[in-house]
Structure 1
Amino acid sequence: MRRQIIVILVSLFWFALPSAWGADRGALFKVTSEGRTMYLFGTIHVGVPGFYPLEPRIAQIVAQAPALALEIDTGRDPAMLARAMQQHGLLAPGEALTAKMPPAQKLRLEKALARAGIPASLVAGLKPWVVATTLALAEYRAQGYRPELGVEGHLAQLARTNGVPVTELESVDEQLALFGRLGESEQMRVLDEVLETIEDGRQGDEAREIAEAWGSADRVALDLIAKRVEEDQTLSGRFLYKVLLVERNAAMAGKLARLITQKNNSVAAVGVLHLIGKTSIPELLRARGMTVERVY
């Protein structure tokens, strides 16, 4: 009993700490239901050294949690990612991406690849959606943000160091299979839209905007980003919102609703866009009758 009281007091202490003790990053929610608690932390899939260490509240609740739930645990089986990419991201043997493109689009792709420092030979056999994603990620890299410093990996390492089990809400195969819903012509349109935003600077601006908003836990900026995503009428924007966010949010919310009943004080860390907006996971859990508090 004494230990339980100490844990409660420590928890209250951490959540009462002023921001001067550590920079808030992303978004943190506290969910309660029938006397049980779960924490939702909004992550970003890239990072810089300055993001770490994370502020003490999130570090503390992860270290003491009975489980950490991630979208996927990329460190668990790196070979699985390679197998899934081979299954979902490669063109048929003998096919070449540029052979499917008109000369003008091919030239634009070559310029974008050169700008990003990516050899054209590396993407020749990839599906258009993979190339579009690679180029978008390159815009983060150009500004110093690196996938290997993504928050999920940091949290997974923190959890394992403290003996906290890491579970997955999805699988790599499930995530990559979603892009297969786009036909080849639709994937080409998505690639064209990404090329356009790279050429006019929007891709870089948006990458910097979301990274900076996450890095400072800027609630207003994050909510504006969510609103813009909801209103984006491009093909890539509709796919991002309806499939990669709304559909996945519903599935993850269902799994998290079960998790809170099974493991009290568990933590779920997912991309911050899943936690903001009118169709976000917190809103879906609130609709199930749970109490959801946005800590920051």
Structure 2
Amino acid sequence: MLKLRFAFLATALACASAVQGQAPATAPAPALPDADPAIWVVKDPDTTIYLFGTFHALDGKSAWFNDEVKAAFDRSKELVLEIPPVDDPASIQPIIMKYALDTSGKPLSDRLSPATKEKFVAALAKLGAPPNAFDKFTPFFAALTLTMANAQKLGMTAANGSEAVLTKAAKDDKKPISGLETIEYQMSIFANLSDAEQIAMLEQTLDELDEVAGLFKKMNDHWSKGDSEGMAALINEMNAKSPKLYKVLLTDRNANWAEWIDKRLDQPGVVFVGVGAGHLGGETSVQALLAKRGIKSERLTQ
């Protein structure tokens, strides 16, 4: 179930990266180890669409915005991300609160079993938070917040993520930036889970918090090497355990994005599209769904 929760986390981090807006300016640093994340191209006679697999939260300890990725970005005239950047975080706070705050009137900690509540309080204590800190949250938002907080302890932040770097570069180059989805749509995916499913998600989160570091390392290793199938294998385990959630979080969204690419090919131009790398591997990847439409995608190499 940890891989399932990572799929939720990836979507939440896409929201976070949109709010971050751009990577912070930093002083010149020594050369970083090279990373080679995967990128594909889809084209017809007058349209080129680069399809790049992003990693929403990174530690800034590798150089990936170079080689074929940078060359493709430089050739592109516009940037399209899962969610467009939000310049004013305050503007989306009402949306976040709409889905994050529970309206049942019953504190979250009181809705948990005694064993789960004990783990919940202990997890909050490790973050320096009081036992009732999340009592007004929906279960899914509490689960995501716990996971994100532990990811940040590892130095993995949206501010260092692919979207933040791409957004800054696009703004510097005055390239238009748009999104395939909205923050409200992504938050609604979580909110539409039943209460039982959300609490189960929180229970799994509490049981597996100690595994977050290992999972992030595996995901980051696959991403850095451009191993799209290895990345997909980690996430696709959820298909057997929860086909419904796999369909909502991955297959349905991939189908929407494949349709968007199909339609965008009708317009001339060069576009750089960045979506979570987990969407670009496996039998229901964006490329596989494009192939079913008769549209070929080609992996770029150095």
Output the TM-score relative to the length of structure 2. Answer: 0.81
Q: Which has the larger radius of gyration?
A: 1
The residue that corresponds to 2:233 in the other structure is: 227
- 1:290 maps to 2:295: yes
Q: 1:50 aligns with which of 30, 46, 61?
A: 61
Report the Cα distance in structure 1 between the residues aligned to 2:284 and 2:271, rounded to whole angstroms: 22
Residue 134 of structure 1 deviates from its aligned partner by 1.5
The residue that corresponds to 1:212 in the other structure is: 221
The residue that corresponds to 1:274 in the other structure is: 279
- The one-letter code sitting in structure 2 at the alignment partner of 1:42 is G
Contact kept, 8 Å, 1:116 with 1:142, in 2: the verdict is no
Q: Secondary structure at the match of 1:123?
A: coil
Contact kept, 8 Å, 1:194 with 1:203, in 2: the verdict is no
Q: Secondary structure at the match of 2:41?
A: strand
- 1:250 maps to 2:255: yes
The residue that corresponds to 1:259 in the other structure is: 264
Residue 85 of structure 1 deviates from its aligned partner by 1.0
Report the Cα distance in structure 2 between the residues aligned to 1:21 and 1:101, rounded to whole angstroms: 45
Q: 1:196 aligns with which of 187, 199, 207?
A: 207
Report the Cα distance in structure 1 between the residues aligned to 2:33 and 2:52, rounded to whole angstroms: 16
Residue 52 of structure 1 deviates from its aligned partner by 4.3
Greater share of helix residues, 1 or 2? Answer: 1
Residue 248 of structure 1 deviates from its aligned partner by 0.9
Contact kept, 8 Å, 2:35 with 2:62, in 1: the verdict is no
- 1:178 maps to 2:189: yes
Contact kept, 8 Å, 1:260 with 1:266, in 2: the verdict is no
Report the Cα distance in structure 1 between the residues aligned to 2:177 and 2:148, rounded to whole angstroms: 26
In structure 2, relative to structure 1, the CA distance for the partners of 1:174 and 1:259 (3 Å cut) is: same
CA displacement 1:2-35 (0-9 Å, x = unmatched): xxxxxxxxxxxxxxxxxx9983443211112345
- The one-letter code sitting in structure 2 at the alignment partner of 1:231 is E
Percent identity over the alignment is 28
Report the Cα distance in structure 1 between the residues aligned to 2:262 and 2:33, rounded to whole angstroms: 30
- The one-letter code sitting in structure 1 at the alignment partner of 2:225 is A
- 1:164 maps to 2:175: yes
Q: Secondary structure at the match of 1:83?
A: helix
Report the RMSD for the aligned CA atoms in angstroms.
Answer: 2.5
Residue 240 of structure 1 deviates from its aligned partner by 4.8
Residue 41 of structure 1 deviates from its aligned partner by 0.6
Report the Cα distance in structure 2 between the residues aligned to 1:211 and 1:240, rounded to whole angstroms: 23
Contact kept, 8 Å, 2:34 with 2:63, in 1: the verdict is no
Report the Cα distance in structure 1 between the residues aligned to 2:263 and 2:87, rounded to whole angstroms: 23
Structure 2 matches for 1:124-135, cutoff 5 A?
124-135=135-146
Residue 271 of structure 1 deviates from its aligned partner by 0.6
Contact kept, 8 Å, 1:68 with 1:267, in 2: the verdict is yes
The number of residues matched between the two structures is 271
CA displacement 1:219-258 (0-9 Å, x = unmatched): 1xx41331242233686x5455221111111111111222
Contact kept, 8 Å, 1:223 with 1:277, in 2: the verdict is yes
Structure 2 matches for 1:36-47, cutoff 5 A?
36-47=47-58
Contact kept, 8 Å, 1:27 with 1:295, in 2: the verdict is yes
Unaligned runs of 5+ in 2: 1-30
Report the Cα distance in structure 2 between the residues aligned to 1:239 and 1:191, rounded to whole angstroms: 18
- 1:96 maps to 2:101: no
Greater mean alpha carbon deviation, residues 112-121 or residues 244-253: 112-121
Report the Cα distance in structure 1 between the residues aligned to 2:94 and 2:75, rounded to whole angstroms: 34
CA displacement 1:74-131 (0-9 Å, x = unmatched): 3344234312111111111743211211221111111222334445444221111011
In structure 2, relative to structure 1, the CA distance for the partners of 1:50 and 1:203 (3 Å cut) is: closer
Contact kept, 8 Å, 1:226 with 1:273, in 2: the verdict is yes
Report the Cα distance in structure 1 between the residues aligned to 2:120 and 2:180, rounded to whole angstroms: 35
The residue that corresponds to 1:5 in the other structure is: none
